[in-house]
Amino acid sequence: MTDDSLDHVALLRLAIAESAKAKAEGNHPFACILVGPDGKVLMTQHNAYMPDHDMTGHAERVLMTRASTTLPMALLKECTIYTSAEPCAMCSGAIYWTGLKRVVYGLSEKDLKKITGDHPENPTLDLPCRVVFDAGQRAVEVIGPMLEAEATEVHEGAWE
């Protein structure tokens, strides 16, 4: 398998399935996976909000910290992050600084904001990740939203 033949649908479904696991474990329903250019899943991450109520413990941000401190930059620049929901501004910045090639996401920030409302544990920023990446000095490919119904379903009952 080469980077051009990555099965974005199947890999995004893995990230969405991880978000369902996070929810089942009592955490916020967000998760992501880091995939190498050969299609191999290198890392998986759920939100790290619980138990310490770390508001910066978003799955993508935590995964980027783990990846940037353990994997070579040459590999990271060929990697794709698949995430159940569009990365927020903070997470988009982490993805940019880590040097990833591509982001594939399910639920958009705009639609996530409609779902979460003004929930104090998720004051969603309706700022598309493309806007953050466009402000940078290198390109980050963005694919999404995709599989929105599947990504939305995981949030049912989570923000009441």
Is 60 part of the annotated catalytic residue set? yes
d(CA 138, CA 151): 28
Q: Which residues contact 121 (CB under 8 A, 6 or more apart)?
A: 28, 49, 53, 55
Q: How many CA atoms are closer than 13 Å to the CA of 95, on its beta-carbon side?
A: 34
Tell the residue number behind the tokens 């399935």, with chain if given.
17
Catalytic residue among 18, 60, 109, 150: 60
Helix axes 89-98, 59-70, angle to 10 degrees: 10
Question: 62: closest CA among 103, 23, 32?
Answer: 32
Which residues are tagged catalytic? 60
